[in-house]
């Protein structure tokens, strides 16, 4: 019996090692590390680990043992949470939505701002704010619009109970990073139709997803293979969330889902022509829509709604949005989503503050306190966010 266990252990170890070697080979064959990124070796190591976990998750999913999102949730659950002695953390519920509250332990004589964000503890301590982190329901069990509805319901609950939390109604901030930025953009638009609630003072969008239609923008061309969010990984996860079969990702990336009549209507908001020329490279190609695929369009046509691509919201809604802070990274496929939205907001007279991290990459802000695996761009992004909130 012991021999069988040893054989099994050796087999599993060999398999895991083989997968890791394959991942390293794939990384060096496909991944591009821009020259502007500092500490490339560190970034390569982290991305190899990410690809390794993603590959294991895909293998488990194909074996019908565990889905990719469930596997990542399991791995995330194994990670230790850093505790800040200066911040009081409380898990509770707003109705049925689980939330986590971060509150500075030192008592402040003035009413606090509010913002909810993945950097909750850091923001709470550095900005003397009450931070609300929404525990929205996730894949694999839940798909669109569950995430947005959970964030919206939690926000409405909070806005109706600001006095209970000692929050100044004129200093409420909605903040989101990546997918969270997508949720914040949509929630902010929905709140414009609920005038009875206190008005959001600012929306903070950190490399948000705002467009699921045009994947040929300059940033999607320049950074399509840059860690950690490649174009293929973005398409895979968003298709899973939107219940779009992964067989349509090629049609989406080439623009084959875009009918000419819709492109004529929306190119004023979606075209690369709205991106400042300094963000074009010599290799940037204009949008060349693939041969229209009606079947692909019918399977993906819901991406044409503002509830999924918030950049498509009507001018009358955009004109009612709060002032906005945009944080972007140069080496990020989502950079141009934010730049397109910046123009839309400014065209409607919305005040926009913008901070661009020249050596940044998607997700780098989450590494600001990772010590060995932190990057200079991580602290730049985190400090820019703190400075904006403190100066409001």
Residues 97 and 151 in one domain: yes
Q: Tell me, what CATH number does 161's domain have?
A: 3.40.50.1820
Take residue 33 and report the two structure tokens written for it. Answer: 């590390």
The pLDDT value given to residue 188: 98
pLDDT in tens, 55-91: 999 999 999 999 998 998 888 778 766 777 888 888 8
Domain match, 49 and 93 both:
no
Q: Same domain for 46 and 110?
A: no
DSSP state of 205: E
pLDDT of residue 116: 35
* pLDDT over 80 (residue 50): yes
What digits encode the pLDDT tens for the residues 346-386? 999 999 999 999 999 999 998 888 878 889 999 999 999 99
Residues 321-348: tens digit of each pLDDT:
999 999 999 999 999 999 999 999 999 9
Residues 157-165, mean pLDDT to the nearest whole number: 94
Q: Which residue has the tokens 């200093």?
A: 171
Three-state DSSP class for residue 172:
strand
Q: Do 52 and 122 share a domain, yes or no?
A: no
Are 210 and 185 in contact by the 8 Å Cβ rule? The answer is yes
Task: Judge if 65 and 105 occupy the same domain.
Answer: no
Same-domain status, 190 and 296: yes
Average pLDDT over residues 32-50: 92
pLDDT at residue 112 above 70?
Answer: no
Beta partners for 326? 205, 354
Q: How far apart are CA 359 and CA 311, in angstroms?
A: 26
Question: Can you tell me the mean pLDDT for 224-253?
Answer: 95
* pLDDT band with cut points at 50, 70 and 90 for residue 212: very high
Residue 165 sits in the same domain as residue 310 = yes
Within this chain, do residues 97 and 202 fall inside the same structural domain, yes or no? Answer: yes
pLDDT at 80: 65
Closest CA to 381 of 307, 317, 327: 327
Say if residues 344 and 318 touch (Cβ distance below 8 Å).
yes
Q: In the prediction, which pLDDT does 106 show?
A: 64
Q: Catalytic residues, which ones?
A: 178, 332, 362
Residue 118 has a pLDDT of 43
Residues 34 and 174 in one domain: no
Residue 113 has pLDDT above 90, yes or no: no
Total domains in the fold of the chain: 2
Query: Do 131 and 86 contact (CB within 8 A), yes or no?
Result: no
Q: Return the percentage of the chain with pLDDT > 70, whole number.
A: 96
Q: Given this model, what pLDDT does residue 115 score?
A: 39
Phi, psi of 82 (to 5 degrees): -75, 135
Dist CA 126 CA 3 (whole Å): 56
The band of 320, judged by pLDDT with boundaries at 50, 70 and 90, is: very high
CB 249, CB 224: distance < 8 Å:
no
Instruction: Write out the residue range of the structural domain in which residue 27 sits.
Output: 2-78
How high is the pLDDT of residue 117? Answer: 40
**89 and 192 in one domain?**
yes
The rounded mean pLDDT for the chain is 91
| C-alpha distances in Å from residue 378, one per residue of 11, 105, 252, 382 | 39, 26, 31, 6
Please check the confidence at residue 222 and state whether its pLDDT lies above 90.
yes
pLDDT confidence of residue 164: 92
pLDDT for 373: 85
Q: What's the pLDDT at 110?
A: 57
Of 78, 110, 137, the domain-final residue? 78
In the prediction, which pLDDT does 287 show? Answer: 76
Within 10 angstroms of residue 312's Cβ, the number of other Cβ atoms is 21
Out of 63, 78, 93, pick the residue that ends a domain. Answer: 78
Q: What is the mean pLDDT of residues 159-171?
A: 93
Choosing from 30, 51, 78, the residue where a domain stops is 78
User: DSSP alpha helices (H): ranges in the chain?
Assistant: 2-30, 40-62, 68-78, 120-127, 146-160, 162-165, 179-191, 218-222, 231-241, 249-254, 260-270, 294-300, 315-318, 335-347, 376-390
C-beta separation of 324 from 210 below 8 A? no
- Shared domain check, 250 and 120: yes
The answer, yes or no, to whether residue 135 has pLDDT greater than 50, is yes
Claim to verify: residue 235 and residue 314 sit in the same structural domain? yes
First to last CA, the chain: 67
Mean pLDDT in residue range 262-281: 93
């Amino acid at each position: 019996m012991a021999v069988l266990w040893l054989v099994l252990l050796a087999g599993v170890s060999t398999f895991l090692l083989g997968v890791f070697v394959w991942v390293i080979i794939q990384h060096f064959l496909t991944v591009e590390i821009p020259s502007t990124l500092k500490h490339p070796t560190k970034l390569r190591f982290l991305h190899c680990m990410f690809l390794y976990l993603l590959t294991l998750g895909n293998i488990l999913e194909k074996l019908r043992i565990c889905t990719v999102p469930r596997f990542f949730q399991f791995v995330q659950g194994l990670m230790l949470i850093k505790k800040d002695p200066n911040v009081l953390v409380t898990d509770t519920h707003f109705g049925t939505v689980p939330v986590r509250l971060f509150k500075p332990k030192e008592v402040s004589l003035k009413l606090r701002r509010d913002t909810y964000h993945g950097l909750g503890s850091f923001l709470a301590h550095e900005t003397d704010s009450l931070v609300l982190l929404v525990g929205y329901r996730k894949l694999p069990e839940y798909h669109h619009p569950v995430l947005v509805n959970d964030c919206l319901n939690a926000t409405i609950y909070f806005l109706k109970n600001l006095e209970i939390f000692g929050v100044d109604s004129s200093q409420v901030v909605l903040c989101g990073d990546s997918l969270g930025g997508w949720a914040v953009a949509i929630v902010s638009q929905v709140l414009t139709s609920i005038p009875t609630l206190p008005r959001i003072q600012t929306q903070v969008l950190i490399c948000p997803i705002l467009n699921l239609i045009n994947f040929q923008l300059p940033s999607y061309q320049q950074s399509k293979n840059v860690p950690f969010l490649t174009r293929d990984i973005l398409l895979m996860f968003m298709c899973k969330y939107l219940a779009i079969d992964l067989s349509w990702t090629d049609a989406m990336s080439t623009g084959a889902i875009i009918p000419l009549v819709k492109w004529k209507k929306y190119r004023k908001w979606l075209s690369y022509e709205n991106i400042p020329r300094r963000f074009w490279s010599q290799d940037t190609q204009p949008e060349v829509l693939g041969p229209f695929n009606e079947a692909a369009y019918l399977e993906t046509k819901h991406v044409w709604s503002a509830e999924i691509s918030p950049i498509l919201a009507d001018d009358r809604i955009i004109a009612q949005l709060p002032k906005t802070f945009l944080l972007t990274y140069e080496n990020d496929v989502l950079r141009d989503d934010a730049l397109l939205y910046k123009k839309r907001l400014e065209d409607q007279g919305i005040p926009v503050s913008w901070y661009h991290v020249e050596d940044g990459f998607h997700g780098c802000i989450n590494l600001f306190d990772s010590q060995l695996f932190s990057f200079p761009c991580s602290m730049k992004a985190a400090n820019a966010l703190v400075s904006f909130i403190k100066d409001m």
